[in-house]
Chain A
Amino acid sequence: MTALIRSELLKIRTTRGWYAYLIVVVLLTGLAVAVEIGSTADGERGGLDFQVGLVDTAGFAALLAIILGITIVTTEFRHGTVTPTFLAAPHRERVIAAKAIAGVLVAVLLALLAFAVVAAVALPWLTLVDADLQLGEGEVGKRAAQVLLSAILWAFMGVAIGTLVQSQVAALVGTLIWIFLGETLLIGLFGLLDIDGLASYLPFQALDGADGSSGGDLLSYWPAVGVSLGWVALLGGLGTERTRRRDIT
């Protein structure tokens, strides 16, 4: 299993797309944290809620993690590399497990990189404007842990979607449409049918609840994590079965 995980990590590192993930996470996080600080009045910059919110900007790692998760599965079908991959490891479920673990490891790396960017921008800036730093407060560390776990969940979700859909374009575009349109429409529909309570159980509503930042109609933190894992298990299970049965031609 370690051999397969090493192989998957090497696959990720040996294409140019790898650098795009690193660059995008640095740029997006850097921009978001700068806008956040820049648009806040001096007096509020020392507040705990504000500084916890700065940690949230590292959440871009989750978005990149799901794209990475989808890509590391579907790229094999797109380029036909699934053939040599399955020749080397004919037990396909082990390949999927290795991809999930590799995806999670990279998601953790992306989240840590995002934290580093937040720290690199926020610490000097806040120090410069003489704002109190709330690093000693458990809240900041707790939110960072939640953002990290969120990135892991999104990476898992990406691998699950990839194994289920297998077409790269359909999986990436379909997921984005589902996130930004599909669930919104379903929430509206649930409202009409008077079953609004179900909305928070939708996959990306659950994942939203599991990033720790949002309140509103979302599930509270641990139930949201549980429901998210449930969706990952369901979609990943179906996807693994589909991959096992598929003829590689």
Chain B
Amino acid sequence: MIEVANLSKRFGKTQAVANLSFRVEAGTITGFLGPNGAGKSTTLRSVLGLVHPDAGSTTVLGVPYRELERPLHRVGAVLEASEVHPGRSGRNHLRVLAAAAGIPRSRVEEVLALVELSSGAKRRVKGYSLGMRQRLGLAAALLGDPEVLVLDEPANGLDPAGIRWLRDLLRSLAAEGRTVLVSSHVLAEVAQTADRVVIIHRGSLVQQAAISDVLAGAKGATRVRTPGAERLRELLVAERVTVSEGAGGALLVDVHPERVGELAAANGIVLHELTVDSATLEEVFLELTGGETTE
């Protein structure tokens, strides 16, 4: 669906992407993760034909982006939220793009409603909040009703309600059979929506796996609260699972939540909480990317 093969790109002295290869399968949500400056945007822009790679190749739907017929009908992209003329209204921004792609004006109103921006569509983009700009970017990506979506840090600038709205939207888009590639520098942000993750660091691949496998590798990533803590701990230890004490009397367990849930159910143990601990997730992420923070 999306294929990146041996991609390399250097900007001046900075090797932005170094021999990167990965695949995004059809019908999945793939999280594209890495710290800021890891080369995510350069990779996505190469996939979209905006950046010319020094070496390697990228294809979308089997061909380089530039060879797609009617590209907006095949691939939708949200890159930076600021790429709009500040003096143009949101509606006119979309109309300009729709005109270029031969998309009828009625579709502009549809996508405005879809991203809940209809009421602000008349205003000039200059007065938009970052959240509104992100919505406008999403609306632009959805104009051609594309089967593939590429989103670069779409959660940036969204408030918690906006992030939740975005998550629900991505889920419903994927449920319609679309392929989604969404980048983020926060693992927890995509952990709840993505099926698979591609993790890069300094322009190179660190891991490409199902999200459950990444989480499975996390120490103490599963957090359990239960009145039967003693009994559950015994059962887990008997299965050679490492268990430690978390805050508030919770247990932190090194296996999938699914496994813990099954074990508890089989033994009639009541659970009050069973979650993937996002703080721990970030530690996993930092471990995978060399433990560095770039901010």
Contacts and interface: CB of A to CB of B under 8 A. Distances in A.
Interface of A: 3-4, 6-7, 10-11, 14-17, 75, 79-91, 245, 247-249
Contacts of A16: 87
Interface string B132-155: 000000001000000000000000
Interface stretch (B98-106, B234-242, B254-262, B281-289): B98-106
B50 A14 contact: no
B86 to A, nearest CB: 7
Contact of B42 (A6, A87, A249): A249
Contact of B100 (A7, A14, A15, A17): A7
20 contacts: A3-B100, A6-B99, A6-B100, A7-B100, A14-B95, A15-B85, A15-B87, A17-B87, A79-B85, A80-B80, A81-B85, A82-B83, A83-B79, A84-B140, A86-B49, A87-B48, A88-B97, A88-B100, A249-B11, A249-B45
Nearest to B85: A79
Nearest to B68: A90
B63 to A, nearest CB: 11
Contacts of A7: 96-97, 99-100
A80 B86 CA distance: 10
Contacts of A83: 50, 79-80, 83
A88 B83 contact: no
Nearest to B46: A247
B50 A87 contact: yes
Dominant SS at the A interface? helix
Contacts of B80: 80, 83
Nearest to A18: B87
A79 B86 contact: yes
B284 to A, nearest CB: 30
A79 B124 CA distance: 14
Contacts of B77: 87
A84 B81 CA distance: 11
A80 B99 contact: no
A80 B84 CA distance: 7
A84 B83 contact: yes
A87 B142 CA distance: 13
Contact of A249 (B51, B82, B85): B51
Given A88-B97, A247-B11, A247-B52, 19 more contacts: A3-B99, A3-B100, A14-B96, A16-B87, A17-B87, A79-B86, A80-B84, A81-B83, A84-B84, A84-B97, A85-B100, A86-B50, A87-B50, A87-B71, A87-B72, A90-B68, A90-B71, A249-B11, A249-B51
A202 B72 CA distance: 43
Given A87-B77, A248-B45, A249-B45, A4 B100 contact: yes
A212 B65 CA distance: 47
Contact of A245 (B48, B52, B95, B96): B52
A102 B89 CA distance: 21
A247 B86 contact: no
B92 interface: yes
B88 interface: yes
B66 interface: yes
Nearest to A17: B87
Contacts of A10: 92, 95-96, 99
A142 B52 CA distance: 49
Contacts of A248: 45, 50-51
B28 interface: no
Interface string B33-76: 00000000110010011111000000000000110100110000
Top 8 closest A-B pairs, CB basis?
A7-B100, A80-B83, A7-B99, A248-B50, A14-B92, A90-B66, A88-B100, A247-B51
Given A15-B88, A80-B80, A84-B140, A90 B65 contact: yes
Interface in B186-243: none
Nearest to B95: A10
A249 B86 CA distance: 19
B68 A88 contact: no
A82 B88 CA distance: 15
Contact of B84 (A79, A89, A90, A245): A79
B88 A14 contact: yes
A3 B95 CA distance: 12
A16 B48 CA distance: 31
Contacts of B82: 80
